[in-house]
Amino acid sequence: MATRGQGSLVHALDYLPLLAFALFFYAIPICYVLASINVQELAGLLNDPYVLKLIWNTILQAVASTIPSIVLAIPVAYFFANYAFRGSKIVRNLLLTPFFVPAFAVTEGMIIMLGERGLVNQFLELILGTRQPVSDVLYSVTAVVMTHVIYYLPLAMLILEQGFSSVDQDQLDAAHVSGADWLTTLRVVYLSHLVPFLAASAILVFAFSFITYSTPILIGGKFTTLEVEIYSTRTRSVSSSLAIIQLAMTLAISVLVMAFRERTYKSSLGSARPLSREEGQSHTLGRRALLVYCILVAVIELMPVYLVLVQSVSQSAVVLFPTSISLEGFSALFAQEFGFGVGFIDVLLTSLSIAFVASLCSVLLSILIAWRGLQSKRARESTGLLLSLPLSISRSSLALGMMLSYGFGMLQLYGSWILFILGDIALIVPLIFRVIEASWLRIGSEVREAASTFGASDLYRLFRIELPLIAPAVASSFMLAFSSSISEFTFANFFSTLNLMTLPISVATLLDLRKFGPAAALNAVIILIVVAAEVTSPAVSQEALRVM
């Protein structure tokens, strides 16, 4: 017979998997970073003009990425929330594509697009009637910002679309019946609903741009950010000081995101009567203009990924439509050595193995955390809150911490693929936990309570009722975890050695060597794996994007 005291112990155990995860994957690595700080050096850094400029650059590029992403996403979100036409789902899904493709693949597409002989220059030369390259934005902050806009516009669009969709149809009808013109309707109905969603999308795009890593490394040229600088100085003590500054800032942003989510955003997701989408062809000029705009945005969004795929099968200069197919890029991959005797097959097998093990461990750990976290309302809230923190935390700082703690410190794992797996688990669990938890919550507390009332132990209930019901979400989470792991760049960059590297690092190596053909071929392989993983779990994309 369980007593009340034993009941309290059981409740305390509900937090154990979460605390163990937080301790092992976050607290210990961060403690190692803290322990390796030189306080005088840290104080000096805060007054160092170079570091202050670095912080300013990081903030500035994040702001510069956020504003156009939101502004450009608003009409698209409005359109897809209000109108449906034959093929609208396809256009919408195409538009979202870049967000589901690794950032470094989009970045290579931008390199192809913005290069001297890139599409942008070809277009400008055609218009201006010159044979000299007009645009010179590649390898600059402008290229970084442009890549971010391409990459984060779909995220902003998804959140804003949710905002437009949550506008109460009854309120809109009331405004129309009252004779309100479109401006009054916009001001009175739309704006009041949209402000939390605008803020939410802005905060998120800012947060993700703030911790950008692969984009400035690959396309930023001399432009650098704090996140990149932590990597560049990783063998020196100054790296830990920079990491602490970055951690403090990203933690503040994470807290801001969470506070906003709890206080404003969630309450905006009311139970309003949903908008009745207007089916059929767009008739008015405004709607047609919007449709043209959306198609144009979709084309621009798709262009980098398209160019990578085209480049992978065409070794000629940048073209929209290749006249002949060449597999030279792919065959060059097999001849390429990425490290000391590390060939393409080695890299591929290493990446697939790491992704498989990391995904499996992440899914099992997420199930365990979600299972115990769902035992009480308090445990569920604490778990959700704590696992929201890492979503926009500095990956470079965490990677540095892991390198110091488990790479060289207590576990001596540097050079081992286990370190890659640990890094992946740290990043993936907070992401897929949300998918699994959401699926679990959909079962309904009454079903869980019913099982307990009818004599089922927690374990019997888990295996007989809960796991079968969340199985589709578990499978989807595994695929999401797999695609996240296979395209993970930051940790891989910190942990890779000349004997052990993953696909993203091989892409970076090829781009460094200006071998765009093989790089595009390798990116095509990664895109294929990632898209295959995501296509097999269509429900997961929406869940995973519920970052707010």
Partner 1 sequence: MRLELREVSKRYGKVSVVDRLSFQVPDGKTFALLGPSGCGKTTTLRVIAGLATPDSGNVLFDGADVTPLRPASRNVGMVFQNLALFPNLTVRENVAFPLEARRTAPSQVDSRTSEVIAMLELVELQDRYPHQLSGGQQQRVAIARAISADVELLLFDEPLASLDPSLKTEISEVIRSVQRRLGITTVYVTHDQTEAVLTSDLLGIMLEGRLEAIGETRKIYESPPTERSARFLGATNSIQCTVEATLENHIVVRVLERSLRVPRPRWWESHRNTARLLFRPEVARVAEPDAGIATGKLDSVMFSGERTVARVRTDQGEIECKGDPSSLFEVLSRHVGGDVGVRVGHDDLIVF
Interacting residues with partner 1 (CB under 8 A): 1-4, 7, 444, 446-447, 449-457, 460-461, 464-465, 468-469
**Shortest separation between residue 460's beta carbon and partner 1, angstroms:** 6
DSSP output for 418-464: HHHHHHHHHHHHHHHHHHHHHHHHHH-HHHHHHHHHTT--HHHHIII
**Shortest separation between residue 478's beta carbon and partner 1, angstroms:** 19
**Shortest separation between residue 471's beta carbon and partner 1, angstroms:** 9
DSSP output for 498-532: SS---HHHHHHHHHHTT-HHHHHHHHHHHHHHHHH
Cβ–Cβ < 8 Å for 144, 220: yes
Q: Which is nearer to partner 1, 41 or 458 (CB)?
A: 458
DSSP 3-state assignment of 278?
strand
Q: Which is nearer to partner 1, 286 or 468 (CB)?
A: 468
**Shortest separation between residue 368's beta carbon and partner 1, angstroms:** 21
> Within a 10 A sphere around the Cβ of 412, how many other Cβ atoms?
11
> Cβ neighbours of residue 239 under 8 Å, at least 6 residues apart?
230, 233, 400
**Shortest separation between residue 11's beta carbon and partner 1, angstroms:** 10
Q: Which is nearer to partner 1, 340 or 454 (CB)?
A: 454
**Shortest separation between residue 385's beta carbon and partner 1, angstroms:** 19
**Residues 497, 498, 501: CA angle, nearest 5 degrees:** 65
Q: Which is nearer to partner 1, 124 or 456 (CB)?
A: 456
Cβ–Cβ < 8 Å for 537, 112: no
Cβ–Cβ < 8 Å for 238, 45: yes
Q: Which is nearer to partner 1, 361 or 456 (CB)?
A: 456
Q: Which is nearer to partner 1, 411 or 539 (CB)?
A: 539
Tokens of 204: 């998120």
Q: Which is nearer to partner 1, 92 or 461 (CB)?
A: 461
Q: Which is nearer to partner 1, 3 or 235 (CB)?
A: 3
Residue 475 is given by DSSP the state H
DSSP 3-state assignment of 211?
coil
Q: Which is nearer to partner 1, 4 or 131 (CB)?
A: 4
Q: Which is nearer to partner 1, 395 or 461 (CB)?
A: 461
- Rg of the chain's alpha carbons, rounded to an integer? 25
- Alpha-carbon dihedral of residues 113, 115, 119, 125, nearest 10 degrees? 150
**Shortest separation between residue 244's beta carbon and partner 1, angstroms:** 39
Q: Which residue has the tokens 């090829």?
A: 510
**Shortest separation between residue 12's beta carbon and partner 1, angstroms:** 15
Tally the residues of the chain: 548
**Shortest separation between residue 466's beta carbon and partner 1, angstroms:** 9
Residue 338 is given by DSSP the state -
Cβ–Cβ < 8 Å for 347, 499: no
**Shortest separation between residue 473's beta carbon and partner 1, angstroms:** 13
